[in-house]
């Protein structure tokens, strides 16, 4: 799972070394290469019958794929509009937004500790937004990044609702559907292509090594690790991503990111550790 988060975290630093590819073209090629990779990996991992099962998996699989598509698309566009640190810290809100979504749409009870975590993390994000606005920075990239945890929360809510009805969603085919939809949506916006051969090589690496392979590994990890362990280890993506962008692209996080990000990550870690302790 540590390897998974390290692979996920490479998107930011790699995107900073692209030569000519623009926002939607970057998103298209990464999603397209993810599709190509999963079309090879899926039959090896689950057998050729996996594609037949997808046709009979019901609407929940396709709704999940739509959510994955939104996550893929908004994430890469946000990376091209704002700093890696802003995107990753904003993305880390997914567990808390999921808790809110499941409370509203499914009726799940939210413990007091999670309500407190939501308030503290919300304060951290608000501080980041206010600081950037005060410095005259554009909030567009951060607002686009906020769409990623919203789509993620919708995805996990759909997954939990399907599980409650005895219909578990196979996440890897859902990722494939999401990548296909993301490619189709961004293709008209990406035309005419401007990516160089260097760009295509980097984007192929993202499609295979930053999405396809770690997503398959993450599914394997969830069969062994408990949910709090996965959630806590998943936060390493934020730390790895900021460090890689700092060391590999010279993108130094601002003071607002350190303060706001510390509140967000601290709230998430505390919430998961308390939940883990109570379960034990």
Encoding tokens for residue 239? 């730390």
Q: What is the pLDDT of residues 91-131, one digit of tens each?
A: 888 888 888 888 888 888 888 888 888 889 888 888 887 77
CA–CA dist 196, 202 (Å, integer): 10
Task: Indicate the length of the chain as a whole number.
Answer: 280
Average pLDDT over residues 235-242: 88
Residue 82: predicted pLDDT:
86
Q: Which of 10-19, 158-167, 189-198, 222-231 has the lowest mean pLDDT?
A: 222-231
264 and 89 Cβ atoms separated by less than 8 Å = yes
Chain segment 250-271, per-residue pLDDT in tens: 888 888 888 888 888 888 888 8
d(CA 203, CA 198): 9
Band of the pLDDT at 7, cuts 50, 70, 90? very high
Q: Is residue 33 predicted with pLDDT exceeding 90? A: yes
What local confidence, expressed as pLDDT, does residue 182 receive? Answer: 95
Provide mean pLDDT across the span 125-139. Answer: 73
Residue 8: what pLDDT?
92
For residue 159, the number of C-alpha atoms closer than 13 Å in the C-beta half-sphere is 19
Average pLDDT value for residue range 157-171: 81
pLDDT-based confidence at residue 137 (cuts at 50, 70, 90): low
The percent of residues above 70 in pLDDT, for the chain, comes to: 97
pLDDT of 254? 80
Instruction: Answer yes or no: is pLDDT of 246 > 80.
Output: yes
Give dist(CA 123, CA 106) in Å, integer.
Answer: 26
Q: Which contacts (CB < 8 Å, 24+ apart) does range 214-218 have?
A: 214/3, 214/4, 214/7, 214/8, 215/171, 215/172, 215/175, 216/41, 216/45, 216/172, 217/1, 217/3, 217/4, 217/7, 218/1, 218/4
Statement: residue 189 has pLDDT above 70: yes
pLDDT at 228 over 70: no
- What confidence category does residue 234 fall into, taking pLDDT thresholds of 50, 70 and 90? confident
* Domain that residue 230 falls in: 2-279
Query: Could you say which DSSP state residue 252 is in?
Result: P
Q: Residue 139: pLDDT above 90?
A: no
Token output for 231: 């959630």
Burial class (CB in 10 A: 0-12, 13-18, 19+), 222: middle
Cα angle value 231/115/262 (rounded, 5°):
55
Kindly report the average pLDDT of the chain as a whole number: 87
Greater pLDDT, 156 or 134: 156
**Residue 17: its pLDDT value, please?**
93
Number of domains in the chain: 1
pTM for this predicted structure? 0.87
Query: Does residue 270 or residue 50 have the better pLDDT?
Result: 270
Judged against a pLDDT cut of 70, whether residue 275 lies above it is answered with: yes
């Amino acid at each position: 799972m540590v390897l998974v988060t390290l692979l996920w975290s490479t998107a930011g630093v790699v995107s900073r070394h692209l030569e000519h590819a623009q926002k939607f073209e970057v998103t298209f090629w990464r999603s397209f290469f993810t599709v190509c990779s999963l079309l090879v990996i899926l039959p090896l991992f689950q057998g050729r019958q996996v594609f037949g099962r997808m046709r009979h998996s019901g609407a929940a699989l396709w709704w999940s794929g739509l959510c994955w598509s939104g996550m893929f698309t908004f994430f890469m566009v946000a990376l091209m509009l704002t700093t890696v640190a802003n995107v990753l810290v904003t993305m880390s809100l997914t567990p808390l937004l999921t808790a809110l979504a499941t409370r509203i749409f499914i009726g799940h009870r939210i413990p007091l500790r999670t309500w407190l975590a939501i308030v503290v993390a919300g304060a951290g994000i608000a501080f980041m937004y206010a600081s950037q606005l005060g410095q005259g920075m554009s909030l567009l990239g951060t607002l686009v990044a906020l769409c990623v945890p919203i789509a993620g929360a919708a995805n996990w809510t759909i997954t939990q609702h399907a599980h409650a009805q005895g219909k578990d969603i196979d996440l890897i085919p859902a990722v494939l559907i999401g990548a296909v939809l993301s490619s189709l949506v961004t293709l008209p916006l990406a035309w005419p292509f401007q990516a160089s051969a260097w760009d295509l090589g980097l984007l192929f690496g993202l499609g295979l090594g930053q999405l396809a392979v770690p997503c398959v590994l993450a599914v394997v990890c969830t069969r062994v690790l408990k949910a709090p362990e996965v959630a806590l280890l998943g936060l390493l993506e934020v730390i790895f991503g900021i460090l890689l962008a700092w060391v590999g692209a010279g993108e130094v996080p601002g003071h607002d990111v350190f303060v706001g990000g510390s509140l967000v990550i601290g709230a998430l870690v505390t919430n998961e550790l308390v939940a883990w302790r109570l379960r034990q």
